[in-house]
């Protein structure tokens, strides 16, 4: 099949995936094949824009859901610059047949050609549409703008770009410099970010990473790598990773210090992923499938010196890794997550030893899940004291070119 014919098939398959997201289903339910990542993820990163364009250009009201999704994907394909414009139009028309939407051929052809003729004027008209301009739901835009009045536009812009690929070198096996040399020998460029982190300017398949199967390196965002640094670890401590799956932070803690670690996750299948990651890295931890909010089900009464609470959240700081997420979230999800996070903190405070430290972590940029929640907890929890982060960095890392958005707070239980 020609490359052009392959594009028709890719547009069909991407349209089906994006239509499912529009209907409220997560891509995690049916992950796209690698060949579809650009079309599906790219369309969803520009979802606000392509929705507005189809609405502006359609003269017959909202089309069939599959056709509408095909148009969204086709508009992204045109704007991506990866294909000739006439090729996209031709292949989108062919994709109508592949979607069993033959009668829509003329409509799809006409709308896409109208876009190509009127592109400049349409660009100007979209500037007033916040969702089309910033590619996020309006409520999300307003939350970020309120929280970061001087940085809100770069934060939103970062959420629309492909994420960086960062590695964590297992320094129990080799130095960062030695692993960087291994990458260079394979023709893979890398830049050190401090500690065990290496940033790849160009993402590569994990199978191309030398020593990956042997446990020399893992893929982990630089923002996530702060957890092990900020736990203030000392050899011999007992550590609880309370929401551990898939095990990246668990492994990094064990690579950093000789501690006795218990890793919990409520989902048994996700616990298997923790075990697989630890096995690859030749690390050992006690892994339990249990709900951290119910200590009576899993805790033996021996308090932990350190607790890592990487709590479930809106994931607003890592939305570029899951571009369907920002369109599936609702404003009501923010207080719902915050209520659950508060309950997790209350439960984990019980298992922390006097003098011990709890590290609260989210991959969110919404203060309701972060600063506001931690301040409220410290104010009401007996013996709770907020400490500066050991790495000297700010509590809130906003998403940027080198890392995702993460929030960290270190809380000590006074003896």
- Domains annotated for the chain, with CATH where assigned, are 3-135 (1.10.940.10), 224-413 (3.40.50.150)
Look up the pTM and report it.
0.93
**Catalytic residue from among 271, 292, 313, 363:** 363
Coil/strand/helix, residue 173: coil
pLDDT of residue 1 exceeding 90, the answer is: no
The per-residue pLDDT for range 215-262, each reduced to its tens digit, is: 999 999 999 999 999 999 999 999 999 999 999 999 999 999 999 999
Per-residue pLDDT averaged across 393-398, rounded?
97
DSSP state, residue 323:
T
Element (H, E) at 335: helix 333-349
Residue 58's nearest CA partner among 75, 44, 41, 43 is 75
Cβ–Cβ under 8 Å, residues 232 and 216: no
Cα–Cα distance, 222 to 167 (Å, whole number): 8
Cβ–Cβ under 8 Å, residues 42 and 76: yes
Residue 52's nearest CA partner among 41, 67, 36, 68 is 68
pLDDT of residue 30 exceeding 90, the answer is: no
- Give the rounded percent of residues in the chain with a pLDDT score beyond 70: 99
Cβ–Cβ under 8 Å, residues 308 and 239: yes
Q: How far is CA 176 from the centre of its chain?
A: 25
The pLDDT assigned to 4 comes to 57
Find the range with the poorest average confidence among 57-61, 300-304, 404-408.
Answer: 57-61
CB neighbourhood size of 13 (10 A): 20
The per-residue pLDDT for range 91-127, each reduced to its tens digit, is: 999 999 999 999 999 999 999 999 999 999 998 888 8
Q: Is 363 a catalytic residue?
A: yes
Cα–Cα distance, 76 to 42 (Å, whole number): 7
The per-residue pLDDT for range 186-197, each reduced to its tens digit, is: 999 999 999 999
Tokens representing 230 are 């900020």
The pLDDT assigned to 124 comes to 87
Residue 357's nearest CA partner among 296, 301, 309, 298 is 309
Cβ–Cβ under 8 Å, residues 356 and 305: yes
């Amino acid at each position: 099949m020609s490359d052009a014919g392959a594009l028709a098939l890719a547009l069909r398959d991407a349209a089906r995936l994006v239509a499912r997201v529009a209907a409220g289903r997560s891509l995690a339910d049916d992950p796209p094949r690698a060949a579809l990542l650009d079309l599906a993820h790219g369309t969803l990163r520009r979802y606000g824009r392509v929705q507005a364009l189809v609405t502006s250009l359609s003269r017959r009201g909202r089309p069939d859901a599959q056709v509408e999704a095909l148009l969204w994907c086709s508009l992204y394909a045109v704007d991506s610059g990866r294909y000739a414009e006439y090729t996209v139009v031709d292949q989108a028309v062919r994709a109508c047949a592949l979607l069993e939407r033959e009668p829509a051929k003329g409509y799809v052809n006409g709308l896409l050609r109208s876009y190509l003729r009127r592109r400049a004027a349409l660009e100007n008209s979209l500037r007033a549409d916040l969702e089309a301009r910033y590619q996020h739901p309006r409520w999300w835009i307003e939350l970020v703008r309120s929280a970061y009045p001087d940085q809100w536009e770069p934060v939103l812009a970062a959420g629309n770009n492909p994420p960086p690929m960062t590695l964590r070198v297992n320094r129990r096996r080799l130095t960062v410099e030695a692993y960087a040399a291994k990458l260079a020998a394979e023709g893979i460029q890398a830049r050190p970010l401090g500690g065990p982190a290496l940033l790849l300017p160009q993402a590569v398949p994990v199978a191309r990473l030398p020593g990956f199967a042997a446990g020399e390196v893992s893929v982990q965002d630089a923002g996530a790598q702060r957890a092990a640094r900020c736990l203030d670890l000392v050899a011999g401590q007992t550590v609880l990773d309370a929401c551990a799956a898939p095990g990246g932070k668990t492994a990094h803690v064990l690579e950093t210090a000789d501690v006795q670690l218990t890793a919990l996750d409520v989902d048994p299948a996700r616990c298997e992923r923790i075990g697989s990651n630890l096995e690859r890295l030749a690390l050992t931890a006690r892994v339990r499938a249990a709900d951290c909010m119910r200590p009576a089900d899993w805790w033996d009464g021996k308090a932990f010196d350190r607790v890592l609470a990487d709590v479930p959240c809106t994931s607003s700081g890592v939305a570029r890794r899951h571009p369907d997420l920002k369109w599936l979230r609702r404003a009501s999800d923010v207080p719902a997550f915050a209520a659950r996070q508060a309950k997790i903190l209350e439960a984990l405070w019980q298992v922390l030893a006097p003098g011990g430290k709890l590290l609260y972590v989210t991959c969110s940029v919404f203060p309701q899940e972060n600063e506001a929640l931690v301040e409220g907890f410290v104010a009401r929890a007996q013996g709770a004291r907020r400490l500066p982060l050991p790495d000297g960095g700010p509590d809130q890392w906003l998403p940027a070119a080198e890392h995702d958005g993460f929030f960290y707070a270190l809380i000590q239980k006074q003896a």
